[in-house]
Structure 1
Amino acid sequence: MKHFNILLFKFIVSLAVFWISLGLFFGGTFVEIISFSLLVTVISYFIGDLMILPQIGKTNAVVVDFFLTYTLVFLFGGIFFHSYLMIGWGSIISASLIAGSELFIHAYIMKNVKHTSRAKQRNFKPNFAFEFAEENEPDPNKDK
């Protein structure tokens, strides 16, 4: 049920973002806005939220979501739109607004959804990652 709520919230936010960035500024049709919202919601959720977020954290996952949204809108915008201005600026505006909303979505996910990969992950302490020592028996022929 939590996953459905997250998907629904992401879809509503994506719908609003694409309505602003593509519909309001560039006159995109309702079908284009719905298709981009659905595409970005599904791919961003499965790649960004389920696979990347538990591994690298909230901030880095927002950066990945920015580039993922930018790439998706840029690539599929070439199919739907015929203006390079609309594709370029629509991608940047959409990716920026989606990344801003993903901050709140990732905070909700980290707080309320337990990921299995996070539970199985060992604690990594970087203080003990490297060992520095001197040789016990240094070479007596070596000049210092």
Structure 2
Amino acid sequence: MKHVNVLFIKFVASLFIFGISLGLLFDAPLVEVVSFSLLVTIISYFIGDQIILPRIGKMNTVVVDFFLVYLIVWIFGAIFFHSYLMIGWGSIISATLFAGSEVFVHSYIVKNIKQTVQEKQRSFNQSFAFEMAEDQGPHPTQSKDE
């Protein structure tokens, strides 16, 4: 049930973000706003929140989400929209607003779905951080012919 809450929060946030960045600023139809919201919610949740967040942390995942949303809007915007201005600025504005909202979503995920995030994080064992060994090079008194 917690994952459904996260998906709902992400969908509402992305619907609001795409409504502003594409709908209000560039007069995109409601169908395209909802389709972008649904696509970004699903891809961002499975790639960003389930795979990347447990491995690299909250703030690095925000950067990944920024570029992910930027690429999604750029690629699919080229299909739906016919104005390069709309594609370029729409992807930058959408990615920036979405990354800003993901800061709060990732905090919610780490706080409420803490078990799955911490189980997947690797622990660093410092006893294997450095190796000490003797140099196995040639001895100075030994010649090449021996």
TM-score w.r.t. length of structure 1: 0.88
Contact 2:54 2:121 in 1 (8 A): no
Q: How far did residue 126 of structure 1 move?
A: 5.7
Q: Which amino acid is 2:112 matched to?
A: N
Gaps of 5+ in 2: none
Q: How many residues align?
A: 142
SS in 1 for 2:131: coil
Q: CA RMSD in A?
A: 2.2
Q: Which amino acid is 2:67 matched to?
A: F
Q: How far did residue 134 of structure 1 move?
A: 5.7
Q: How far did residue 135 of structure 1 move?
A: 4.3
2:123 maps to 1:123: yes
CA 25–134 in structure 1, closer or farther in 2 if over 3 Å, else same: same
- Aligned positions of 1:5-84 closer than 5 A: 5-84=5-84
Contact 1:55 1:118 in 2 (8 A): no
Partner of 2:96: 96
Q: In the aligned structure 1, how far is the partner of 2:49 from the partner of 2:110? A: 10
TM-score w.r.t. length of structure 2: 0.87
CA 81–127 in structure 1, closer or farther in 2 if over 3 Å, else same: farther
- Give the % identical residues: 65
Gaps of 5+ in 1: none
Contact 2:54 2:120 in 1 (8 A): no
Contact 2:48 2:65 in 1 (8 A): yes
